[in-house]
Amino acid sequence: MPQNSLYDFANPLRFESIARRVFPFVAGAAVILTAMGVYFALFNSPADYQQGESVRIMYVHVPAAWMALFCYSSMAIASAAGFIWKHPLADVAAKETAPIGAAFTLLALFTGSLWGKPMWGAWWAWDARLTSVLVLFFMYLGYMALWRAIADKARAARLAAILAIVGFVNVPVIKFSVDWWNSLHQPASILRPDGPTIHAAMLTPLFLMIAAYMAIYVALLVASMLNELISRRIARTELAGGAQPATMVEQ
Amino acid sequence: MSGFLAIIARDVTLAFRAGGGALQALSFFALTIILFALAIGPDLSLMSEIAAPVLWAAALLATLISLEQIYRPDREDGSLDMLVETSDILALTAFAKAAAHWITTGLLLTAATPVLALLLNIKGAALGPLLATLLIGTPGLSLIGAFAAALTAALPRAGLLIAIIVIPLYAPILIFGVGAAGAGAAGEPQYGANLALLGASSLFAAVFSPLASAAALRFNLD
């Protein structure tokens, strides 16, 4: 594999210096947006006429479910970019997105279960969307397991990218599974051709929470990418100080 | 084309020789059915109701355990390098490997299904649709599985990793397969539609799995 090591090395360094400056702003935005979103969701929005106060679970649950899909899509796009242009930062972005996305997916499953108990009378229903989000969670785990299983970082990046792109085929299946199979889960109620079917007073906290989740994702991604780049540099430095400086180029 | 058939013939022969995966997969299939039967207990009406789903799940698991055999032995004895070096279109080679795997698992399991279905007290009307769904769905299982095997070809102990990677990707085929088998047994009109979706899943896998496998194989050679 032809690699220009100067290009590979210089670009992540530039990313590091930019990321260090950007991180406080993103992290601050995440804190502020979360605080505002939680305030609106808990205190400044109406209770549902059918679901009562438990509708407030929606403000945690729906953005998490969106982020579960969004993170997987980002991972697949970053993987494709890393696969096509062999850009090391894209590989790192894809790798570091996976655990964040898995956490959002788990949050969506957990809050969905808490919401399902009062609404459906069951913690878990094997309906289409729940099942496919659970499948999505295991797809994240498979992707992370593949990264961990392969010692050579460059090869792991290529193979994991192929897996992410193949798995991405399943994301539309998840999105439209509600329409394909009969289910307990309510159909999509925000992104509809005839406009949203939920009240505007509920949309404000919902969109605030979505923005907050997005900021949390970006902040965590920047931090963990920095972490990964630094730990790779430490590994490189240790190799360089060790007995075999020739392997330095390899990693 | 002769190379394509030669790869299939070679892999099928190897699978039936000593140490091959074909009879192991078949035995595993039968043993899974026995486990289910023992777990359910001697309730014949319950058994006939869940016969098709159990057979589908068992076929999926039997396919799964033999996936590691597709590429790993070839990588260990070096013939995988030869295959990759000498093939004009690597995706076609990957397709042949998946086809050979299907002949030695999916086709074999489908052939054994009538006997095992009797053990599960399946209704007469349900057997035909079940066989049709297995025949259409198991090629998809082999193709997707062969992709996971190509992805992990360089790893010494990939069995569990293959399972984690492949089971989520199997979900649509299992859902459509069991759905079609159920609809066919009940004589419902959705039978055709489900069967078509199952066929679409297998064809989709037939297009993308060899391409993705070929890419993965290239990166798994040193």
pLDDT at A7: 53
Mean pLDDT, residues B118-130: 88
Total of domains in chain B:
1
- Give the domain range for residue A163: 7-248
Confidence of residue B180 (pLDDT cuts 50, 70, 90): confident
Mean pLDDT, residues A101-121: 87
Alpha-carbon span B171 to A180, nearest angstrom: 14
CA distance B137 to chain A (A): 17
- What residues of chain A lie within 8 A of the CB of B172, using their CB? 170, 173
Total of domains in chain A:
1
Residue A195, domain CATH: 1.20.120
Q: Which of A141, A159, A170 sits opposite B151 (nearest CB)?
A: A159
pLDDT at A197: 64
Contacts of B160 (CB under 8 A, 6+ apart): none
Note whether B140 and B180 are within 8 A (CB): no
Separation of first and last alpha carbons in chain A: 13
SS3 for B52-110 is HHHHHHHHHHHHHHCHHHCCHHHHHCCHHHHHHHHCCCHHHHHHHHHHHHHHHCHHHHH
Note whether B138 and B105 are within 8 A (CB): yes
Alpha-carbon span A39 to A28, nearest angstrom: 17
A89 in any annotated domain: yes
A67 in any annotated domain: yes
Confidence of residue A242 (pLDDT cuts 50, 70, 90): low
Give the residue from B55, B143, B54 showing the smallest Cα distance to B96: B143
A231 in any annotated domain: yes
A→B contacts (Cβ < 8 Å), by residue, are 131-132, 135-136, 138-139, 141-142, 145-146, 149-150, 155, 158-159, 162-163, 165-167, 169-170, 173, 181
Give the residue from B210, B113, B208 showing the smallest Cα distance to A170: B208
- Give the domain range for residue B147: 2-220
CA distance B160 to chain A (A): 10
Alpha-carbon span A214 to A221, nearest angstrom: 10
B163 reaches A (C-beta below 8 A): no
Residue A21 — φ and ψ, nearest 5°? -75, -35
Give the residue from A136, A130, A133, A118 showing the smallest Cα distance to A185: A130
Tokens of A6: 């100067």
Mean pLDDT, residues A78-102: 90
Alpha-carbon span A194 to A191, nearest angstrom: 9
Across the interface, do A170 and B172 touch by the CB < 8 Å criterion?
yes
Q: Is the pLDDT of residue B59 over 50?
A: yes
- Which of A92-96, A243-247, B195-199 is least confident? A243-247
Alpha-carbon span A100 to A97, nearest angstrom: 5
Cα dihedral A237, A243, A245, A250 sign: negative
Q: Is the pLDDT of residue A12 over 70?
A: yes
Q: pLDDT for A187-220, tens place per residue?
A: 556 655 555 566 777 788 888 899 999 999 999 9
